Amino acid sequence: MRRREFRHEPWSRRAATRRSLFLLLILAPTLISSGYMADVLPHKGTTPLELAIVVVFAALFAWISIGFWTAMLGFYTLVRRTDRFAITQGRWIDGRAAIKPAIRTAILIPIYNENVPEVFARIRATFDSLRATGQLERFAFFILSDSDDPDQWVEEEMAWARLRAQTGYADIYYRRRRNNIKRKSGNIADFCRRWGSAFRYMVVLDADSIMSGATLVRMVQIMERRRDVGILQTAPMCVNRETLLARVQQFANRLYGPMFAAGLHFWQLGDAQFWGHNAIIRIEPFVKHCALPRLPGRPPLGGDILSHDFVEAALMRRAGYGVWLAYDLGGSYEEVPPTLLDELKRDRRWCQGNMQHMRLLFTRGLFPAHRALFLNGAMTYVSALLWFLLLTLSTAAALLEALRPPAYFGPEPGLFPNWPVWHPQWALTLLVSTAVVLFLPKLFSILLVLLQRRGSEFGGTARLLAGVAGEIVVSTLLAPVRMLFHNKFIFITLLGGQIGWSSQNRSDAATSWSEAWRFHGGGSLLAAAWGAVVYLVNPGFFWWLSPILIALLLAVPLSVLTSRPELGRTARKLGLFLTPEEVAPPPELCAFRAHLTDSRAQATAPPGCVRAVTDPRTHRLHLAQIGQPRRLKPEIRRRRQVLVARALQDGPEALSARDKLELLQDPASLQALHLSVWQLPEEQSARHWGLPRLEAVTAI
């Protein structure tokens, strides 16, 4: 499709008006508050140091104003209850109507060293919900693995075979790449090259995603009726986590999230963001127009793009297709990182990816809205740098004022001194206005729930209010900790530090005290030294700075305590941080928990790699997956023969993970090892390979 075909969409003029209003609402309060900031400074912003403070403050106030006005416009959208531009609206969308047989949709689940029982329980829950719609035959599931853990690889194959056997559905496929080039985006691109032509759409899920069948069907119907849409993004709801921090974030997501999502839709319309998962994509234009460029130069700012989703949305829009956020479409779920450290590890990767986007800012043909989204994504982390810079400049100004003797007379002779004038009402006005921008959206979220009479979904009004108070305390204490780490991530990225690819922790495992000290101890020591110097020189300013310093000093216990699942469960028993999905669990989440219990019960010893060698059924399954033997160079063949001999002599523990992967990828070596293990003396085979216990292993 040519780019110009959809350039003048019916919504584009309204989008321009809304964005102009949005920009005005951001800039006007920013200019006013910056003027107040200059007035409360000792020299009215006339010195270089104070001018820098005012400029940084203005940038930060504009940044938080974006979130404020997004929420306010979202509140307006939801209270109106009618939105003619909502992508989900229309009498032509009927979830009960059958999808035409020719319209096929692939559901992609890219995975990388994930918890196998949990991943397949989520897939099964989504599958069961889709089957209940009666339109399962229009969909196919593709489990796309990049796992490089040998045990995980085999366990994924076993779980896939078990899923196919239990469901009796043939269109569930599993494929593991030998070379995981370009990570997740490369995995999806590989699918598109191999099988994309057989499908009109693809739904991309994360390993922690669950979607209802009704939502999947409705997304396809929307795409069919709106041929101008290239990507349709849902607003996932956060579920299933038990740690205290995760429960707080789930609560915030469910309470504040709908208002912010509606606000994003208000000003973005068909130029929305793509978050990389829980979305449906039109495959043909995606393949033609959304291939990711490789940035010139060396990583981290060059090379493969880490945060691929924003770029793919910009390229899809450049091709003439809309990217829409279905903010009011339910039945879409994901999980949040269980601990603060897991969240920060994820942010490290996102920071590098968002910084890379700045190199694409002036790419020819991109729409202004997506250039703004690139800037907005970078500001997610640059704002932390600005905040730290504001604190540093303010501290420097306070120390200078305390150490420098006051000058009551200027260079010109005069009869009367120039007394400094302090306007406490101006400082109070500035403080109140900043607090309003930060906290008023939370109050409006409560008001929205009460207006919609949904208080019972959060455990009742009293528990809702208590949850908001607790969330404000936790988020306020953690904000300086996140700020310090985001600064660190920016400097590491700019200095050339790269991030590896590791699987995400999706289990509710608590952070140890030693690990918390290793990550947060430096920040706590910095806060102690910072506070001591300020208190000695300017005690008055110390109390203004104390909330930041206290949060940094408490970073270690905060990180540990908020990672505790038992504290999260206690909060749930008390009715704190409840979400609608906990008060009245939807069928797909109930199915997930039931299937997870079954999957864990079926997970048996020995590890996957050992089973691929010793268990005949697993061995045959794995051989069928890796295909026919390849012709090998003599030196490679000899090395693998050495590995087989070492495994026979000393058992699987004598092989490294890389050795095991090499054997698992070679049918000839694996077959030789399988036959030889069964010919070992009983004592040796029992000691190393556990053969006598195989009779107790549950068959696939």
% of the chain exceeding 90 in pLDDT: 77
172-176/105-111 β-pairing: unpaired
Q: Hey, where are the domains in the chain? A: 105-336, 608-696
* Helix, strand or coil, per DSSP, at residue 324: strand
* Cα dihedral 640, 642, 647, 650 in deg (nearest 10): -160
| C-beta of residue 200 within 8 angstroms of C-beta of residue 99 | no
- List, for residues 58-73, the tens digit of each pLDDT value: 999 999 999 999 999 9
| C-beta of residue 192 within 8 angstroms of C-beta of residue 265 | no
Q: Provide the 8-state DSSP code for 358.
A: G
Distant-in-sequence contacts of 659-667, Cβ < 8 A, 24+ apart: 660/150, 660/609, 661/148, 661/150, 661/153, 664/150, 664/153, 664/154, 664/609, 664/612, 664/622, 664/626, 665/178, 665/626, 666/629, 666/630, 666/632, 666/640, 667/623, 667/626, 667/627, 667/628, 667/629
Can you read off the two tokens belonging to residue 449? 């729930």
The reported pTM is: 0.92
Sheet of 139-145: strand order equals 172-176, 139-145, 105-111, 201-204, 279-282, 229-234, 322-326
In angstroms, what CA-CA distances link 275 with 233, 278, 325, 679, 696?
A: 7, 8, 10, 53, 44
Nearest 5°: the CA angle 360, 363, 366 is 105
Q: Is 320 left (phi over 0), alpha (psi -120 to 50) or beta?
A: left
Please report the pLDDT score of residue 423 as a whole number: 56
Please report the pLDDT score of residue 250 as a whole number: 98
- Confidence band, pLDDT 50/70/90 cuts, at residue 700: very low
What distance in Å separates the CA atoms of residue 595 and residue 124, rounded to the nearest whole number? 7
Over its C-alpha atoms, the chain yields an Rg (Å, rounded) of 29
- Confidence band, pLDDT 50/70/90 cuts, at residue 43: confident
Q: What's at 66, amino acid-wise? A: I
pLDDT for 322 beyond 80: yes
- Confidence band, pLDDT 50/70/90 cuts, at residue 421: low
Please report the pLDDT score of residue 420 as a whole number: 58
Match 């060059």 to its residue by tokens. 302
Helix axes 368-403, 340-357, angle to 10 degrees: 110
Omega before residue 606 within 30° of 0, cis: yes
What distance in Å separates the CA atoms of residue 318 and residue 310, rounded to the nearest whole number? 12
- Confidence band, pLDDT 50/70/90 cuts, at residue 695: very low
Q: Which fold has domain 105-336?
A: Spore Coat Polysaccharide Biosynthesis Protein SpsA; Chain A (3.90.550)
Omega before residue 300 within 30° of 0, cis: yes
Query: b or e along 13-36 (b: 16 or more beta carbons within 10 Å of the residue's beta carbon)?
Result: eebeebbeebeebbeebbeebbeb
- List, for residues 570-617, the tens digit of each pLDDT value: 999 999 999 999 999 999 999 999 999 988 877 767 888 999 999 999
Question: Considering only CA atoms, which of 487, 480, 491, 488 is closest in space to residue 531?
Answer: 480
Please report the pLDDT score of residue 693 as a whole number: 46
- List, for residues 655-670, the tens digit of each pLDDT value: 999 999 999 999 999 9
- List, for residues 458-469, the tens digit of each pLDDT value: 999 999 999 999
Can you read off the two tokens belonging to residue 481? 């900790």
Q: How big is the chain, counted in residues?
A: 700
Please report the pLDDT score of residue 409 as a whole number: 58
> Most distant CA pair in the chain: distance in Å?
109
Q: Provide the 8-state DSSP code for 496.
A: T
% of the chain exceeding 70 in pLDDT: 92
- List, for residues 82-126, the tens digit of each pLDDT value: 888 999 986 555 656 789 999 999 999 999 999 999 999 999 999
Match 């504290």 to its residue by tokens. 567
What distance in Å separates the CA atoms of residue 578 and residue 254, rounded to the nearest whole number? 9
Q: Is 391 left (phi over 0), alpha (psi -120 to 50) or beta?
A: alpha
Burial class (CB in 10 A: 0-12, 13-18, 19+), 677: buried
Please report the pLDDT score of residue 98 as a whole number: 86
DSSP alpha helix (H) spans, 361-423: 368-403
Match 């205290």 to its residue by tokens. 244
Please report the pLDDT score of residue 417 as a whole number: 62
Task: Summarize the confidence of residues 615-642 as an average pLDDT.
Answer: 90
- List, for residues 254-312, the tens digit of each pLDDT value: 999 999 999 999 999 999 999 999 999 999 999 999 999 899 998 889 999 989 999 99
What distance in Å separates the CA atoms of residue 582 and residue 592, rounded to the nearest whole number? 13
- Confidence band, pLDDT 50/70/90 cuts, at residue 8: low
- Which has the minimum average pLDDT: 8-17, 238-247, 616-625? 8-17
Please report the pLDDT score of residue 349 as a whole number: 92
Q: Which residues contact 542 (CB under 8 A, 6 or more apart)?
A: 531, 534, 535
Mean model confidence pLDDT for the chain: 91
Please report the pLDDT score of residue 697 as a whole number: 43
pLDDT for 494 beyond 60: yes
Please report the pLDDT score of residue 692 as a whole number: 57
Question: Considering only CA atoms, which of 190, 41, 179, 218 is closest in space to residue 108?
Answer: 190
What distance in Å separates the CA atoms of residue 12 and residue 18, rounded to the nearest whole number? 10
Dump strand ranges (E) for 424-563.
none
